[in-house]
Chains A and B, each alone.
Chain A
Amino acid sequence: MVDAVLFEFLHTEMVAELWAHEADPDPGPGEQKMNLLVLESMGFRVGQALGERLPRETLALREELDVLKFLCKDLWVAVFQKQMDSLRTNHQALLCPQGTYVLQDSSFPLLVRMASGLQYVEEAPKFLAFTCGLLRGTLSTLGIKSLVTASVAALPACRFQVVVQRS
């Protein structure tokens, strides 16, 4: 069994590697976006593959909400050894065509190490992109098309917003 800390170290290196290419000290917003996209797509790929390896019983998940609960509990425990702290949904989901879920983690493990003080708030998005992709990829394998974004209010708390796309 691979120790969980390895993932954290590897993730840190991946973020560092992507931003190491910037030769000029003041990169354009385009490049920043590109790097986030790369991280997100790697996460998506991993999430998809993880989804394919889920145990059979979980593959037969019934409702959309069950799937989201599954992400908050099982997936989060597998990836971060803790559960998501809260899952909220807009109750108008029945009225509007899109279901929106907000997943909140009050101490997101990938941010904990940079969480003392406000110094690194701006760096936080780099450390969330992979996980956004991970959620989107897993959902996609479970048959749910979605958009996942993340935001940070105060380190190390962060929230992931999942918007389910219904065609």
Chain B
Amino acid sequence: MSRQANRGTESKKMSSELFTLTYGALVTQLCKDYENDEDVNKQLDKMGYNIGVRLIEDFLARSNVGRCHDFRETADVIAKVAFKMYLGITPSITNWSPAGDEFSLILENNPLVDFVELPDNHSSLIYSNLLCGVLRGALEMVSAALYPPGPPGMEQGLGKTFA
């Protein structure tokens, strides 16, 4: 019985390492494919965005959180529910701007960077840039405010749909 339980955590640990390692292999491959780090960052962000767009559906279906009414609430859900659910960590929220439209997430134990040591020639590579893309993609799907300004009249339409 205890062996069985042991195996359970073992396979959980392995599946989490699988993600970290796969991500590492991906970044390595991108560094081979693109000449400069900027392009790798951009590519990681783009892939993250595509993931975020689909992740939000998974998140809403599984977490049962309702609509957030302000950005502070959004920050709380991201840090305490979403990060907990997908990466098993809870980043702290700091550096709120006075207007309340900007905040920082501090990740103390980012699982993406386990086993990683960046060589010196990649100083401008943002290793975990995928996460930024994921956040952007996911938030864009639930928040009209993040849409880029469309043609006139578009915003009204959006406002109605999302109100």
Give A contacts to B, CB under 8 Å: 1-7, 9-11, 13-14, 16-17, 38, 42-43, 45-46, 49-50, 53-55, 74-75, 77-79, 81, 130
Contacts and interface: CB of A to CB of B under 8 A. Distances in A.
B60 interface: no
Contact of B15 (A9, A42, A79): A79
Nearest to A81: B15
Interface in B1-29: 7, 10-26, 28-29
Contact of A10 (B10, B15, B23): B23
A38 B29 contact: yes
B51 A53 contact: no
Given A3-B87, A46-B24, 9 more contacts: A1-B88, A2-B20, A2-B111, A4-B15, A7-B15, A17-B47, A42-B22, A49-B17, A78-B18
Interface string B30-61: 00000000000001000100110011001000
Given A10-B23, A42-B26, A78 B86 contact: no
B88 A2 contact: yes
B146 interface: no
Majority SS of interface residues in chain A? helix
18 contacts: A1-B16, A1-B88, A2-B20, A2-B86, A5-B86, A6-B55, A7-B19, A7-B22, A10-B23, A13-B51, A17-B43, A38-B29, A43-B25, A45-B21, A45-B25, A50-B18, A77-B11, A78-B14
Interface in B102-160: 111, 115
B68 interface: no
A10 B88 contact: no
Nearest to B12: A1
Contacts, number: 92
Contacts of B17: 49-50, 53
A6 B86 contact: yes
A75 to B, nearest CB: 8
Contacts of A55: 10
Nearest to B48: A13
Contact of B25 (A42, A53, A74, A77): A42
B54 to A, nearest CB: 6
A74 B14 CA distance: 9
Most chain A beta carbons < 10 A, residue from B19, B26, B51: B19
Contacts of A78: 10-12, 14-15, 18
Given A1-B12, A79-B15, A46 B54 contact: no
Contact of B22 (A10, A38, A75, A77): A10
Contacts of B26: 10, 14, 42
Interface in B60-94: 85-88
A58 to B, nearest CB: 9
Nearest to B33: A21
A55 B33 CA distance: 34
A3 B59 CA distance: 11
Contacts of A77: 11
Contacts of B25: 42-43, 45-46
A7 B25 CA distance: 13
